[in-house]
Amino acid sequence: MTYDASTRRDGQSAGSTAADRTFWGRLSAWGPYHALMRLTTASPRRQFLILAAFPILWVLTQHLGPMLQMLRVSLTDAYPVAPGVEQSFTLDNYARFFGDSIFWMPFFRTLTFAGVFTFCTLIITYPVAYFLARHVSRKNQMLFLLLLLIPFWVGEIVRTYAIMILLGNTGAVNLALKTLGLIDRPIPFMYTSFSMGVGIVYLTALYMLLPLYSALEKLPQSMNEAAADLGAGAWTRFRRVSLPLTIEGISSGCTLVFLISTGFYATPVLLGGPSTTVFAETIAGFFHVAGDEWPTGAAFATIMFLAALIITTVFQRLMKMLRKGESA
Amino acid sequence: MNDRPELFRGNRIFLACIYWAFVLYVFVPLILMVLMGFKDSRFIGFPIRSWTLEWYTGVFADTEVLSTFGYSIAIAVLSTLISILVGTWIAVLLEGRKFAGRGLTFGLTLLPALVPGIISAIAFRIYARWLGIEPGMGAIVWAHAVHNVPFVVLVVMARLSTLPKSQIEAARDLGADPLITFLRITLPYLVPAILGASIFCLLLSFDDFVRSFFLGGYEPTLPVMIFAMLRSGMSPEINAIATVALVLTAAIGLWAERFTRRMNKER
Amino acid sequence: MTDPEPLVRIEGLTKHFGETVALDDLTLDIARGEFVTFLGPSGCGKSTTLRILGGFERPTRGRVILDGADVTNQPPEKRQVNMVFQDYALFPHMTVAQNVSFGLELKGMGKAEIKRRSDEILSFLELESYGSRYPIQLSGGQRQRVALARALAPDPALLLLDEPLGALDAKLRGQVQQELKSIQRRTHKTFFFVTHDQEEALTMSDRIVVLNHGRVEQDGTPEELYFRPASRFVAEFIGETNLLSGRVRGKEDDKIVMDWHGQTLRGLAPQGSPDQGEPITASVRLEKLQFHSERPEMPNAVRGRVVGKTFLGSRMAMEIAVDDVEDAMLRAYVDAETGARVGSDPVWIGWDVDSMAMLTD
């Protein structure tokens, strides 16, 4: 077998077979494209700028922009501005929040609810994640997890409605309790903080389950066995081995669930009652009426966002300290 | 599971009970809701004594309901296309590249996913007004697209991080410019991630209530329509509509799960 | 190297990665049709040189001239240079034939031409029946050949090979070394090979450049490097050797006379002759030591006692404690029969002047 590589045949043949080129060959040889590429890739720096310009513009204008605009509107006295009226900056919208308990009550209620519901979600999903990660064989893990994923593809509203049917006065729970002879009259579960809690935990459980599962899955089984070998009982093993090593998963799961919980609007409206009005409803109220209430709504949303941000940041710091304390 | 030590058996049975109880918790409400859609009575409540398909035939005869389905699907598809395009672009910029402000860009990229729902809806509403976008389909598509970008970025970045750098270099070495390299090497490699992210975006958009509610015009999306119907009381029609939506989303989700798993296995 | 028009001319190439200097003022020429190997430990700068030649890195300073043209700032796609990657980097979603055609397509060749050309190169590398397979369906050796075929297809002026045998098992590696050398001969291509494996370098190369800390330690044929290492580093890095540290006693023609613990030894002088009294190190290859029962008629001879033997199959490694010199051990290879004969009686070890290289470092 001989191979004559020294003959540069391609140079001669390229022209004669131009029409026969592949798509990519034609594209890269096409004048305008060639010129464009030469222009855009002239230097690594220029190439980077062209690659980076759009994403950076996008995150600034589309991701950060709405938040900044909300902040700006919250500092104005009227929005949208009526023609001929001077718009001025003011802190009144923020002052209004503290002036009336009708505003700050729902605010604190929302934060309390979100905290409590987050804790409930953690308590409920931790054993589930633990079971999935530690007691189910690798082969079946995806299947068991998938079983839990399916209901979570269903939307917020449909699932909220499902809870309404479950907990209603003529709902499944009351029917079951009655059949068992435990109650004579139905228990009014609906339109209370209980029904709201059941609904919100139902909606957010997956966001807790997944971080916990991935944290637990990383723990080697041998760690537990070693602890057992050293005479640690089930509770001690959990307390001293699994829990400290999954703090990161707990931290991110709780942060996610807390942020999501504070943002629900439809679920509290449908499942809650007058005594459980959350801040989302208060904020929404300013946008249902005439436009001049927008600045107040924006101010309240800003307050809410800052509060959620501060709480989750402090929480994450605490968890980090806790983890360091454990390992020390 | 025979390889698990005997020692942990008691725990296992206990935890298995919790797991199955949790499965019941997530499935039972949905199953009950579906069953209620077949009850031969306008009254929502138990027990169910006789069955009917009346509500379904009624719903499918209603062109308004059907057009709402179409409207929601159109919004989902359009917003997903934008999210995928933008998200992939951002992921390509951020993955494996060091530059000043990368951390900040990454943080800003994730921002829409971290802002609580109501606040995000309000912020989009105000911004849309400022940009001059009228409430309606365009505004919803835009809000959904922005909101879903972070998820696309995370999924695509995860996949991109597993592409050996030598693949890119080999293509360049063989005469491909950066764009052709992206189209012929990087993009085919990203297909499973992009498909997975697309399905996720479609579901997020299709299920979204709060952004659709605050940015919508007169025409409601499906969740907004169900919400409006619920405010005037429960009715079996809602069950029928919700069941169709449920079957649709669960079917897409399951199909995507299988499909992406097969794609990942092939590579 | 005296070629008036070398294929590659590397001028003062320097590369910094932050604080670390990966390549420090490297200058050398590569002639057409040469099989050059860059050899050195990891971090010595060999891969950096390769990546600069490929266009994947830009040097901090210096130039690369390819075929008379400055290509220092040219991107990889513009260069008449192709590369065989360490992990082969075959495109998993393309068949073998598509992989090989990739570079040809982008050269703007017609479909018929691409087909002819890729068939030709595939059959040249005995891969003709694998064209429609995907890389995942091939063995390690086959993948390596596909990578080679893909890199050779666009007819590069210079072929870069980045430790392409690293992923193969030891048995296959020997065979592939021979193949690679023969392919290089038959194609008359210039091969730029990078490895940390000295045996690989010695087997295949026309010329070896040993790098350490971004600088050239020695540049020469495999034989020169093996028998006349220029520095302690080269002597230790390539093959096994005895290093004898002593002082310069004087010079005789092109020989150096050294004092080694009271013994007078003679070896070939290094470049730049050291002065009398200066410390110096000599290197003697293990297989160059000869065993005698009486003092041999050789310029270098010491008396000692065998204190250890290791059977290695075809040969035997001996450890000899030299008489009157504390802590001085020599190691030697002898054929198994000689090795078995040598007992615990004192022996004489002798070697030639040519077998001992004096090292400056």
Segment 1-30 of chain A within 8 Å of chain C by CB: 1-3, 5-6, 8-10, 13-14, 16-22, 24-26, 28-29
Are residues A157 and B223, on separate chains, in Cβ contact within 8 Å?
yes
Query: Of B153-167, C23-37, C155-169, C340-354, which range is least confident?
Result: C340-354
For residue B255, give the chain A residue with the closest CA: A150
C55 touches chain B (CB under 8 A): yes
DSSP alpha helix (H) spans, C91-139: 96-106, 111-124
Distance from CA of C299 to the nearest CA of A (A): 51
Segment 58-97 of chain B within 8 Å of chain C by CB: none
Residues of A in contact with B213 (CB under 8 A): 265-266
pLDDT score of A326 more than 90:
no
- Mean pLDDT over each residue of chain C, to the nearest integer: 88
Helix (H, G, I), strand (E, B) or coil at C247: strand
Are residues B167 and C89, on separate chains, in Cβ contact within 8 Å?
yes
pLDDT band at A7 (very low <50, low <70, confident <90, very high): very low
**Tens of pLDDT along C267-292?**
887 766 677 778 888 888 888 888 88
Are residues C111 and A10, on separate chains, in Cβ contact within 8 Å?
no
Summarize the confidence of residues C92-105 as an average pLDDT: 94
Q: Which residue has the higher pLDDT, A253 or C337?
A: A253
Q: How many inter-chain contacts (A to C, CB under 8 Å) are there?
A: 66
**Tens of pLDDT along A219-259?**
877 777 777 777 777 778 777 778 888 888 999 999 999 99
Cβ-Cβ contacts under 8 Å for A177 (sequence gap 6 or more):
A183, A187
Q: What percentage of chain C carries pLDDT values higher than 70?
A: 98
pLDDT score of C127 more than 50:
yes
Summarize the confidence of residues C130-143 as an average pLDDT: 92
**Three-class HEC string of A121-145:** HHHHHHHHHHHHHHHCCHHHHHHHH
A294, amino acid identity: W
Summarize the confidence of residues C32-41 as an average pLDDT: 92
Out of B166, B173, B267, the one facing C87 most closely (by C-beta) is B166
- Give B150: exposed, middle or buried? Use CB within 10 Å, 0-12, 13-18, 19+: buried
Q: What is the pLDDT of residue C253?
A: 77
Q: What is the pLDDT of residue B52?
A: 87
Are residues B29 and A157, on separate chains, in Cβ contact within 8 Å?
no
Chains sharing 3 or more CB pairs under 8 A with chain A: B, C
For residue A10, give the chain C residue with the closest CA: C109
Q: How many CB atoms lie within 10 A of CB A132?
A: 25
Are residues A66 and B214, on separate chains, in Cβ contact within 8 Å?
no
**Long-range pairs for B58-67: beta carbons < 8 A, 24 or more residues apart:** B58/B237, B58/B240, B59/B237, B59/B240, B59/B241, B59/B244, B65/B225, B65/B241
Residues of A in contact with B115 (CB under 8 A): 67, 259, 263, 305
Tell me yes or no: is domain C8-227 CATH 3.40.50.300: yes
Summarize the confidence of residues B22-35 as an average pLDDT: 91
pLDDT score of B37 more than 50:
yes
Q: Which of A3, A20, A27, A30 to mutate to test the interface with C (most CBs of C within 10 A)?
A: A3
**Tens of pLDDT along B143-190?**
999 999 999 999 999 999 999 999 999 999 999 999 999 999 999 999
Round to whole Å and give the CA distance between B88 and B100. 20
Cβ-Cβ contacts under 8 Å for A17 (sequence gap 6 or more):
C109, C110, C111, C112, C113
- Give B209: exposed, middle or buried? Use CB within 10 Å, 0-12, 13-18, 19+: buried
Q: What is the pLDDT of residue B266?
A: 61
Q: What percentage of chain A carries pLDDT values higher than 90?
A: 41
**Long-range pairs for C112-120: beta carbons < 8 A, 24 or more residues apart:** C112/A17, C112/A20, C113/A9, C113/A10, C113/A13, C113/A17, C113/A20, C114/A22, C117/A9, C117/A10, C117/C153, C118/C149, C118/C153, C120/A3
A144 touches chain B (CB under 8 A): yes
Q: What is the pLDDT of residue A204?
A: 93
Q: What is the pLDDT of residue A273?
A: 86
Distance from CA of C118 to the nearest CA of A (A): 12
Query: Of A11-25, A228-242, B49-63, B140-154, which range is least confident?
Result: A11-25
Out of B27, B46, B175, the one facing A172 most closely (by C-beta) is B46
Q: If you classify domain B54-266 with CATH, what class do you get?
A: mainly alpha
Report residue C100 as tokens.
């090989």
Distance from CA of C179 to the nearest CA of A (A): 13
Read off φ and ψ for residue C140, nearest 5 degrees: -60, -45
Residues of A in contact with C112 (CB under 8 A): 17, 20
Buried b (16+ CB within 10 A) or exposed e, C159-181: bbbbbbbeebeeeebeebbebbb
Q: If you classify domain C240-359 with CATH, what class do you get?
A: mainly beta
Segment 148-167 of chain C within 8 Å of chain B by CB: 150-151, 154
Q: What is the pLDDT of residue A15?
A: 47
For residue A114, give the chain B residue with the closest CA: B116
Round to whole Å and give the CA distance between C77 and C81. 9
Are residues B45 and A168, on separate chains, in Cβ contact within 8 Å?
yes
DSSP state of C334: E
Helix (H, G, I), strand (E, B) or coil at C38: strand
Distance from CA of B196 to the nearest CA of A (A): 13
Query: CATH assignment of A100-327?
Result: 1.10.3720.10
- Give the angle A18-A21-A26 at the CA atoms, nearest 5°: 85
Q: Is residue C270 a contact partner of residue C249, using CB atoms and an 8 Å limit?
A: no
Q: What is the pLDDT of residue C190?
A: 93
Summarize the confidence of residues C20-48 as an average pLDDT: 91
Are residues B173 and C55, on separate chains, in Cβ contact within 8 Å?
yes
C134 touches chain B (CB under 8 A): no
Q: How many CB atoms lie within 10 A of CB A227?
A: 18
Segment 65-124 of chain B within 8 Å of chain A by CB: 86, 89-90, 92-94, 99, 101, 105, 108-109, 111-112, 114-124
Q: Which residue has the higher pLDDT, C152 or A13?
A: C152
pLDDT score of B4 more than 50:
no
Q: What is the pLDDT of residue C281?
A: 86
Residues of C in contact with A26 (CB under 8 A): 108
Read off φ and ψ for residue C334, nearest 5 degrees: -135, 165
Q: What is the pLDDT of residue C252?
A: 79
pLDDT band at A174 (very low <50, low <70, confident <90, very high): confident
Residues of C in contact with B164 (CB under 8 A): 87, 89
Summarize the confidence of residues C43-56 as an average pLDDT: 92
pLDDT score of A91 more than 50:
yes
Cβ-Cβ contacts under 8 Å for A260 (sequence gap 6 or more):
A203, A204, A207, B116, B117
Domain ranges, ordered by start, for chain B = 6-36, 54-266
Q: How many inter-chain contacts (B to C, CB under 8 Å) are there?
A: 60
Outline where DSSP puts E strands in chain C: 8-17, 20-30, 35-39, 61-66, 69-70, 81-84, 158-162, 190-195, 207-212, 215-220, 241-252, 255-260, 263-268, 279-285, 290-292, 300-311, 315-322, 329-335, 347-351, 356-359
Out of A6, A18, A22, the one facing C105 most closely (by C-beta) is A22
Identify whether A80 is preceded by a cis peptide bond (ω within 30 of 0): yes
**Tens of pLDDT along A44-86?**
889 899 999 999 999 999 999 999 999 999 998 887 777 777 7
Summarize the confidence of residues C189-196 as an average pLDDT: 93
Helix (H, G, I), strand (E, B) or coil at A8: coil
| Among the listed residues C292, C288, C217, C283, the one whose alpha carbon sits nearest the alpha carbon of residue C256 | C283
Q: What is the pLDDT of residue A289?
A: 63
Q: What is the pLDDT of residue B267?
A: 52
pLDDT score of C301 more than 90:
no
Q: What is the pLDDT of residue A223?
A: 74
DSSP alpha helix (H) spans, A1-137: 9-16, 23-29, 31-40, 44-58, 65-74, 92-99, 101-135
Domain ranges, ordered by start, for chain C = 8-227, 240-359
pLDDT score of C339 more than 50:
yes
Which residues on neighbouring strands pair with residue B1, listed in sequence order? none
Q: What is the pLDDT of residue A3?
A: 52
For residue B164, give the chain C residue with the closest CA: C89
| Among the listed residues A172, A212, A211, the one whose alpha carbon sits nearest the alpha carbon of residue A190 | A172
Q: What is the pLDDT of residue A292?
A: 66
Distance from CA of A17 to the nearest CA of C (A): 5
Round to whole Å and give the CA distance between C223 and C173. 21
**Tens of pLDDT along B70-83?**
999 999 999 999 99
Round to whole Å and give the CA distance between B88 and B201. 13
DSSP state of C92: T
Task: Tell how far CA A304 is from the center of its chain.
Answer: 16
Summarize the confidence of residues C176-201 as an average pLDDT: 90
A188 touches chain B (CB under 8 A): no
Q: What is the pLDDT of residue A291?
A: 56
Report residue B265 as tokens.
């296995």
Q: What is the pLDDT of residue B20?
A: 93
Are residues B115 and A67, on separate chains, in Cβ contact within 8 Å?
yes
pLDDT score of C263 more than 70:
yes
pLDDT score of B28 more than 70:
yes
Q: Is the pTM of this model over 0.90?
A: no
Q: What is the pLDDT of residue A139?
A: 80
B217 touches chain A (CB under 8 A): no
Helices A138-152, A101-135: inter-axial angle, 10-degree rounding: 150
Q: How many CB atoms lie within 10 A of CB A196?
A: 25
Distance from CA of A322 to the nearest CA of B (A): 24
**Three-class HEC string of chain B:** CCCCCHHHHHHHHHHHHHHHHHHHHHHHHHHHHHHHCCECCCCCCCCCCCECCHHHHHHHHCHHHHHHHHHHHHHHHHHHHHHHHHHHHHHHHHCCCCCCCHHHHHHHHHHHHHCCHHHHHHHHHHHHHHHCCCCCHHHHHHHHHHHHHHHHHHHHHHHHCCCCHHHHHHHHHCCCCHHHHHHHHHHHHHHHHHHHHHHHHHHHHHHCCHHHHHHCCCCCCHHHHHHHHHHCCCCHHHHHHHHHHHHHHHHHHHHHHHHHHHHHHHC
- Mean pLDDT over each residue of chain B, to the nearest integer: 90
pLDDT band at C265 (very low <50, low <70, confident <90, very high): confident
Residues of A in contact with B1 (CB under 8 A): 135-137
pLDDT band at B3 (very low <50, low <70, confident <90, very high): very low
Q: Is residue A252 a contact partner of residue A211, using CB atoms and an 8 Å limit?
A: yes
**Tens of pLDDT along A104-149?**
899 999 999 999 999 999 999 999 998 998 888 888 888 888 888 8
B188 touches chain C (CB under 8 A): yes
